[in-house]
Amino acid sequence: MAASSKKWVLGVIVLAVLVPLLQPVFPDVVSNYRLFLISTMIIAAIAVLGLNLLTGFNGQFSLGHGAFYAVGAYTAAILMDKLNVPYWATIPAAAIVCFIVGYLFGLPALKLEGHYLALATFALALAVPQILKYKWLEGLTGGVQGIVLMKPEVPFGLPLSEDQWLYYFCLLVMIVLFWGAANMLNSRSGRAMMAIRDQYMAADTMGIDTALYKTVTFGISAAYTGIAGALSACAIAFVAPDSFGIFLSIKFLIGLVVGGIGSLFGSVLGGIFYVLVDNSAQSLTQFIRNDLGLPFDLSAYTVFGVLLIAIIYLMPMGIAGGLYMAYRKLRGARA
Amino acid sequence: MEQFLQQIASGLANGAIYACVALALVMIYVSTDHINFAQGEMAMFSAYISWQLMDWGMSFWVAFILTVLISFAMGVLIERLILRPLHNAPVLSIIVVFIGLLAIFNSMAGAFWSYLIKEFPSPFPKADFGIAGVIGPHQLGVVLVTLIVLGLLFVFFRYTPLGLAMRAAAQNPQMARLVGVRVDWMLALGWGLAASVGAVAGIMVAHIVYLEPNMMGGILLYAFASALVGGISNPAGAVAGGFIVGILENMVAYAGNQIEKATGIYIIGNGEKLTVALIIVIFVLTVKPAGLFGRVVVKRV
């Protein structure tokens, strides 16, 4: 990473740490609800990063990352609910469980390419809610009702509200995970991952153990998304099967495509983006009904769908890629 | 025994629906190498269109035929406007566009007609037939309609010049172009036909699963399983796969039911239908990707 972008990242982190401290100064702008919303964006960014590691950096498709998010969320919820494990300890546990699940799913995925892998993961995404409702798992998963949890408590008697603490916790996890991902991608292993994406045959010939790298990448990717799932279980304090359907996976895909395929920064943008659209759909509907007088209930997914197609046409590298191109143009560098 | 036969009969009826959707998938796959993830939502949207037409006072079969025509136009338009420009785009772009279409159709149906479940009429008489108790009138009707549609398609592709041109365009686009077939338009027509066949499936199934924007999710998954079992490159195989998977689905649930009755242990039932489909999909993809009747693809390295 270049020195200038390191400065940028540090600056953003410092800003992010300062945000909750502004709450007493601007109580209306930095409300608890807004902080919670930013926490959700952070969680989304981690989930999108997980998908990006697989698709953007390793070239394997997944339309079913919601499944790993669900496994992470349920691992965390069951540990907290049944074994009284503290919430922070469920994060590494979810990572390990999801790594194993992802690695195992990566094995059959080795035989699948392109459309077929997309098809298999799409099938997985469709089946997830049913698997979670499976009768034998009901004792653990709580069946259709799901599991109700407690919100994380503020530790060490820190003078923070619950939402503020949640925000810092998510931020910390995100910084660690993005730092880890950046370092991994910058290493020999990361280059191997990308070599497999760009030229599978050549990578194989050069002696890269493509099968190992692909399955391990699947595992790591699942672990990242699983951690996001565990965080969401902590944040929302509730898990239920029907919140992990196909549309969750579609949201991750939105984050990936809109933010930028193969860009760490893009994952953050993508996460922020899909949470924003998801949350403003309601006011958009009200605007359409009341101000335009049209009898539609415009859902976020119409926006998502149109954007997905539009981005493929106009900005195939997503917002991050578009910004980068604009930056280079401004600097007058040769593209 | 009667229960067993009932299960087979309802498996056949479901299978007919899967066969239609699977055939639509295969028609697009054979000519463009794309797997249309939005096929189910397109069929759902068609079912809503026919509901709307009936709501405006049309009779079932008039609405049916109009819907099939509208769906045909819809399919052609989607191919021409959205997919044609992405002719040489990478696989991921195509998949993303399909997912985008899926999201649009699903949410538009919800926006126009709300997410409330609607009753969908059956055009077949309520009266029982001679084989009463085993197969209901709607189920029998579904199988018949499907067979008629499949027969028409077969005749079209086998015996008409246009059908021949479409097959040529799918099999060998360059050669077809050389002998004067307008390959681009053949692909668009293929899309239109696929959308029409999907529409038939959507209208037929809406009575069984009730009309709602998410009604096709599970059916699409089963259609994928059917297409894969039959061999995704073989239209006739996809139809056979549809019936096989339809019966298999009910047999699995039936067997699970019997086991539970005999031993009191619940293993599998109606609640696991999608999981069964997922297992079929992954099993076929990893163990026998060509399916039962498909062509084995050998890649030159």
Inter-chain touch B282–A120, beta carbons under 8 Å? yes
Residue from A239, A227, A75, A105 nearest B278 by CA: A105
Minimum distance, in Å, between the CA of residue A275 and any CA atom of chain B:
16
Instruction: State the number of CA atoms in the 13 A half-sphere of B299 facing the CB.
Output: 2
Chain B residues with CB-CB distance to A54 below 8 A: none
Q: Report CB contact under 8 Å: A250, B285.
A: no
B128 in a structural domain: yes
Torsion of CA B17, B22, B28, B34, to 10 degrees: 130
Q: Name all contacts of A83-90 with Cβ < 8 Å and 24+ positions apart.
A: A87/A152, A87/A234, A88/A152, A88/A169, A90/A230, A90/A233, A90/A234
Taking each helix axis as running N to C, give the angle between helix A210-236 and helix A32-58, from 0 to 180 degrees, rounded to the nearest 10.
170
CA distance A72 to A222: 9
CA distance A196 to A177: 23
Instruction: Decide if pLDDT at B222 tops 70.
Output: yes
The 10s digit of each residue's pLDDT in A269-298 is: 999 988 988 888 777 777 777 777 776 667
What is the SS3 assignment for A153-203?
CCHHHCCCCHHHHHHHHHHHHHHHHHHHHHHHHCCHHHHHHHHHHHCHHHH
Q: Do A126 and B33 touch (CB under 8 A)?
A: no
Torsion A304-A305-A308-A310 (CA) sign? negative
pLDDT tens-digit series, residues B183-205: 888 889 999 999 999 999 999 88
Which H, E and C letters describe B131-167, residue by residue? CCCCCCHHHHHHHHHHHHHHHHHHHHHHHCHHHHHHH
pLDDT of residue A4: 64
In a domain, B259, yes or no: no
* B contacts of A300 (beta carbons < 8 Å): 107
Residues B43, B196: contact at Cβ < 8 Å?
no
Tell me how far apart the alpha carbons of residues A193 and A58 are, in angstroms, rounded to a whole number.
5
Neighbour-count burial of B185, counting CB atoms closer than 10 A to its CB (0-12 exposed, 13-18 middle, 19+ buried): middle
Residue B27 lies in a domain: yes
- Check CB contact under 8 Å for B103 and A298: no
- Judged by CB atoms closer than 8 Å, whether chains meet at A313 and B85 is answered as yes
DSSP A293: -
Check residue A87 and give its pLDDT: 86
Q: What is the pLDDT of residue A54?
A: 93
CB contact under 8 A, A296 and B111: yes
Tokens coding B156: 């079209």
Q: What is the mean pLDDT of chain B?
A: 86
Q: Give me Rg for the CA atoms of chain B.
A: 19
Going by the DSSP 8-state scheme, the letter that residue A238 receives in this structure is E
Q: Which one of B104, B218, B301 has the shortest CB-CB distance to A305?
A: B104
The pTM for the full model equals: 0.88
Element housing A82 (H / E): helix A65-83
Q: Where are the domains of chain A?
A: 31-245
| B234 in any annotated domain | no
B45 located within any domain: yes
Residue B240 within a domain: no
Stretch B289-295: mean pLDDT, rounded?
79
How high is the pLDDT of residue B207? 86
Q: How many angstroms away from the CA of A173 is the closest CA of chain B? A: 29
Question: What is the C-alpha separation between A312 and A301, in angstroms, rounded?
Answer: 16
**A268, A52 in Cβ contact below 8 A?**
no
In a domain, B261, yes or no: no
- Per-residue confidence (pLDDT) for residue B208, from 0 to 100: 84
Which helix (H) or strand (E) segment holds residue A108: the answer is helix A87-109
Token output for A168: 């810092």
Cα dist. A208→A107, B97, B275, B299 in Å?
17, 32, 35, 21
- How many domains is chain B built from? 1
Sign of CA dihedral A39, A44, A47, A52: negative
Alpha-carbon gap: A178 to the closest alpha carbon of chain B (Å): 24
Amino acid identity at B155: V
Q: Which residues of chain B are within 8 Å of residue A135 when distances are taken between CB atoms?
A: 266, 269, 271
Quote the pLDDT of residue B301: 64
CA gap B89, B119 in Å, rounded:
41
What's the average model confidence in pLDDT over B153-164? Answer: 89
Cβ–Cβ gap A312/B96 under 8 Å: yes
Supply B23's token pair: 């055939």
Spatial separation of the C-alpha atoms in residues B42 and A170, rounded to whole Å: 39
pLDDT, residue A335, reads: 45
CA distance B104 to A105: 29
Write out the H or E segment, with its range, that includes residue A89. helix A87-109
Asked whether B77 and B98 are in contact (CB, 8 A), the reply is no
Q: What is the pLDDT along chain A (335 residues), one digit of tens a residue?
A: 455 677 888 888 888 877 777 777 777 777 778 888 889 999 999 999 999 999 989 988 899 899 999 999 999 999 988 888 888 889 999 999 999 999 999 998 888 877 888 888 999 888 888 888 887 777 777 777 888 887 777 778 777 788 888 888 999 999 999 999 999 999 988 898 898 888 888 888 888 888 899 999 999 999 999 999 999 998 888 888 888 888 899 999 989 998 888 888 889 999 998 898 888 877 777 777 777 777 666 777 888 888 888 888 887 777 888 888 888 778 775 54
Q: Is A301 close to B101, i.e. CB distance below 8 A?
A: no
Name the DSSP class of A19: G
Which helix (H) or strand (E) element contains residue A15? helix A3-18
Interface test with B, best of A55, A119, A204, A299 (most B CBs within 10 A): A119
What DSSP letter does each residue of A208-233 carry, written as one string? --HHHHHHHHHHHHHHHHHHHHHHHH
Q: How far is B100 from chain A (nearest CA, A)?
A: 4
